[in-house]
Amino acid sequence: MKRGLDRHTLYELCVQSPRHAAMLLRAIHAGSPSVLREDFAGTGAVSREWIRQIRGGRAIAIDHDKATLARIGRSTRIRPIVGDVMKAPLVARADAIFVGNFSIGEIHTRGALVAYLKKCASRLARGGIFVCDTYGGQSAFKVGSVRRQHHAPGGVRVTYTWEQREADPLTAMVVNAIHFRADRAGDVVADIADAFVYHWRLWSVPELRDAMLEAGLGDAAVYNQLPDAVDSEGNAYVEPVEDPDELGESFIVCVSARRA
């Protein structure tokens, strides 16, 4: 099916780096992971990449938006499940559970966060990892926009705008919006304001670590979003961030924990 420059295609082009996410998960796991559970999966881009990177690997991708998840396509090695991440069935114990692009913020209360992480602990195989990303630092509760340009096939230039529209440091609730504008040699071919709007609870790194430990997971650690190094065979290496000076004033990190 030809989809053109719809909001999901533009999101995958501008927002995601599933290749790096899958490499990072493999490196944090540090064993031979096989089953990925991608919660809040959206179009399941990390699941698709996981089965490309891992011979015989399998993925379970869960999202409550049927139309978005349908973009995952068909593979005998990916099981898409339309539903709530809290209630979706245990299909197979996962070696890695991944919650990407700040989706952990879809959970708004600490009670619900700990309950969700307890579910995750019960869905992991022994030694399996839970990983989610979050942002923090000086600009975490600032409103404003960041604009970046990307190039799509056919000479299309895409301007991607990430807007933090509202941010309340008293409740840690934020409203974020993504806008796209695409042009070919100056002719606008797509202009999608508010392509995605999110109402998130912005969880800090220590809040996530505490909740993970309370949920029965161990070894809570923080990693940069991109692997530290990648060898010629595509294997990534990561070291946990232990010195706050490594983070910069504003940062995006992955927070992980492991089932014993």
Ligand X SMILES: C[S@@+](CC[C@H](N)C(=O)[O-])C[C@H]1O[C@@H](n2cnc3c(N)ncnc32)[C@H](O)[C@@H]1O
Could you say whether residue 84 binds ligand X (CB under 6 A)? yes
Please, which residue, 111 or 218, has the CB nearer to ligand X?
111
Of 48-56, 59-67, 136-144, 151-159, the window that binds ligand X (rule: CB under 6 A) is: 59-67
Q: Provide the token pair at 213.
A: 């430990």
Does 100 help bind ligand X (rule: CB under 6 A)? Answer: yes
Q: Does 113 sit near ligand X (CB under 6 A)?
A: no
Binds ligand X by CB under 6 A, chosen from 40, 50, 135, 223: 40
Q: Can residue 17 be called a binding residue for ligand X (CB under 6 A)? A: no
Beta strands in 20-143 (DSSP E): 35-39, 58-63, 78-82, 94-99, 124-137
Considering only the stretches 37-45, 89-97, 141-149, 162-170, report the one whose residues sit in contact with ligand X under the rule CB under 6 A. 37-45
User: Which one of the spans 57-65, 124-132, 163-171, 203-211 is the region binding ligand X (CB under 6 A)?
Assistant: 57-65
Strands of 218-224's sheet, edge to edge? 78-82, 58-63, 35-39, 94-99, 124-137, 250-258, 218-224
**Binding flag, residue 210, ligand X (CB under 6 A):** no
Residue 123 sits at φ, ψ, to 5 deg, of: -95, -5
Pairing between strand 187-201 and 218-224? unpaired
Binding residue for ligand X, selected from 101, 134, 164, 256, defined by CB under 6 A: 101
Which residue, judged by CB position, is nearest to ligand X in the bound state?
42
Q: What are phi and psi of 207, to 5 degrees?
A: -65, -40
Residue 184 C-beta: closest distance to ligand X, Å: 25
Cα–Cα distance measured from residue 35 to residue 66, given in angstroms and rounded to the nearest whole number: 22
Helix and strand totals (H; E) in the chain: 6, 13
Distance (Å, whole) CA 254 – CA 260: 19
Residue choice 7, 20, 64, 77 for contact with ligand X (CB under 6 A):
64
Which of 42, 57, 80, 227 lies at the binding interface for ligand X (CB under 6 A)? 42
* Beta-bridge partners for 254: 133, 223
The residues that touch ligand X, with contacts defined as CB under 6 A, are: 16, 40-42, 62-65, 68, 84-85, 100-101, 103, 106, 198
